[in-house]
Chains A and B, each alone.
Chain A
Amino acid sequence: MNILDIQNLHTFFPITGGVFSKITGYIKAVNDVSLYIKKGEIVSVVGESGCGKSTLGLTALGLTPASSGTIALADKKIDIKKQHSWKPFRKDYQIIFQDPFTSLNPRHTIYKILSEPLLLHKVYTRKNVREGVIRLMEHVGLSTDYLRRFPHAFSGGQRQRIAIARAIGIKPKMIVCDEVASALDVSVQAQIIQLLLQLKKEMNLSLMFISHDLSLVKAISDRIYVMYLGKIVESAPSSDLFKKPKHPYTQALLNSIPTLNRNKKPAILSGEVPSPINLPSGCVFKSRCKYAKEECDRKHPEFSTIGDTHVACYFPLS
């Protein structure tokens, strides 16, 4: 069963201008994306800042309106034009937002932030909810002495862990994790990743793991989608993607990872970044691709299949 199945999804944001606020164009944040996540699978989405990853996650859960396409949750097709069609899935599909600071209510104590969803979804009763909250705090490595504190009294990494604790508490079937661990140091990362992997094993939890931290992505994912300017350009099992990237953008990503070796500088991906409003004709990556040829001007390439990899490129790397 696919816990999430997205076909030809488009999410466009209108741009208005002029005195009459006429729509003058669209930001094509998600532009014809198809993606699926099987039950119990951890699937990562990586890609350039602003390429549409968060919008994809938000649209999948009905938190940003889709322009067109189909979405099915647990094999049930959603009417994407109606917000309430996601309602029955609210408990089972959670999201951990990219920015923990703005998603945690500053006027609520940590105890309230963590206990409310547990009570609302009846995971615990008023009587034993305290136990549940303490268990969650321990899971994410936070001291339980802090239950009466407010979000501002925590460090960035601590706040992020509070957001994680809130999402896993109600035992969802799938979580969209938007940059949940990027701001954490390796030690805490390891702990969070172990926790997520353990939940996957015990409860068959599925994850859409949005991240630009490639070492994290490598450690956690079954499969990876690489996104560029609103489109998926490559998808592959985790090991294949790192060993033999097929899309030049994927290769550029891997070459830009900084290492401890001070003689090996991260590569710079040069070329003009196109705007998501005026998309170039042809392949979306061509203005930055060092292998671009004339053919690449024709139209955006269709996917081709090489082994377990799908790649949208006229000249996939070998």
Chain B
Amino acid sequence: MRHLIRNRSSILNRQPVLTVKDLTIAFETEEGLVEITDKVSFEILPGEIFGLVGESGCGKTITALSILRLLPQPGTKITSGSIFLKDRNILSLSYEQMRSVRGKEIGMIFQEPAAALNPLLPVKKQLMELFDYHKFPDDKEKRVAELLHRVGFPDPQRILASYPHELSGGMLQRVMIAIALMLSPSLIIADEPTTALDVTVQAQIMELLIEMQREIDTSILFITHNLSLIAQYANRLAVMYAGRIVEENDLDSFINNPLHPYSRGLIEALPDLNSENPQLKSIPGQVPQPKDYSFGCRFRERCNKAFELCTDKPELMSTGDTQKVACFLYKKEL
């Protein structure tokens, strides 16, 4: 995968496509506001594939949805922070402006494609609506058929004529991917884009995303729980735990030397397919729920390296050119 890692200095000098800063999202409960994320910050550079990983419920999807201003309503809201698409403040755009950003500038692959597509409309209508909204010039039909072919459909015409329930889970996911790629957006948010795909189709789809990235310099925010997939295809990643980013790293360094004890746990939990009897391992303890998020480091109850300092809140700090970690173990060393 060497070819993916571009010259870092040339990347670093470019303006980020997406800048998320101190993003806090909360939902309303009877007992008041409960924060789901806590000051999440990251940047995505042009042409970069940026991974976001973390256990179920840590806030990955909520973060992604907030970038598109699609947080579930009512009940969820951004309480502080900012999101910039290049130099435009997403949070200050009008409804209409936001609508034109979706699809054209930011493509979205949703975690549950069946819920994102309209069950009452054939696939073709749904694809064309997007084209029509964005006043796409001619040749729509041809482009759509071509894209469907590229996401692995031998019979685009059948797919176009189908209603969502006539397609399999993985086929819906691929339709979703085709929709996200259709208008060649500068940023694609891919939330578990291949969870419904077998490994051979997954490899094919990832190859397609990489081609897009190379052809038109698209950046990808790649959300997944599959670390191996991130290892193969991302340039950089952020690890999220209980609503906070606990580590940011480039991939080579992350795999050989993960910084946060939680990251280490994630890597060690990966099953080894070569072993006779692969055990699914887990990090001991439970992932806390947002309303139980406690003071100090939120991982400390599950951490075998926890010590007295961990009852304070660790800030994300740099430990190298491209490394950041929120853990007091590194404070000690400094």
Contacts and interface: CB of A to CB of B under 8 A. Distances in A.
Interface stretch (B39-47, B127-135, B282-290): B282-290
A147 interface: no
Interface stretch (B78-86, B139-147, B181-189, B221-229): B221-229
A190 B287 CA distance: 14
Contact of A212 (B198, B227, B252, B270): B198
Interface string B95-128: 0000000000000000110110001000000000
8 contacts: A48-B201, A99-B169, A188-B282, A215-B271, A215-B273, A269-B203, A272-B154, A275-B158
A257 B168 CA distance: 21
Given A50-B170, A99-B115, A101-B112, A185 B198 contact: no
Contact of A260 (B75, B225, B270, B279): B270
Given A98-B169, A266-B203, A186 B281 contact: yes
Interface string A142-179: 01011000001101111000000000000000000011
Contact of A141 (B72, B195, B273, B286): B286
Interface stretch (B53-61, B305-313, B318-326): B53-61
Contacts of A189: 280, 282
Contacts of A178: 169
Q: How large is the interface on A (under 10, 10 to 19, 20 to 34, 35 or more residues)?
A: 35 or more
A284 B19 CA distance: 48
A256 B197 CA distance: 12
B27 interface: yes
Interface of A: 13, 15, 27, 46-50, 53-55, 98-102, 141, 143, 145-146, 152-153, 155-158, 178-179, 182-191, 193-194, 212, 214-216, 218-219, 239, 242, 252-253, 256-263, 265-269, 272-275, 277
Contacts of B281: 186, 190
Contact of B199 (A54, A188, A212, A239): A212
Contacts of B119: 102
B290 to A, nearest CB: 10
B192 interface: yes
Contact of B111 (A146, A183, A218, A274): A183
Residue among B173, B226, B252, B266 having the largest count of chain A Cβ atoms under 10 Å:
B226
Nearest to A27: B158
Contacts, number: 190
Contact of B75 (A101, A153, A216, A253): A153
B226 A258 contact: yes
A100 B112 CA distance: 9
A48 B269 contact: no
A100 B192 CA distance: 15
A188 B229 contact: no
B291 interface: yes
B203 A268 contact: yes
B91 interface: no
Given A179-B196, A187-B269, A262 B115 contact: no
B111 A156 contact: yes
Contacts of B158: 15, 27, 275, 277
A190 B171 CA distance: 27
Nearest to B165: A102
A99 to B, nearest CB: 4
B137 interface: no
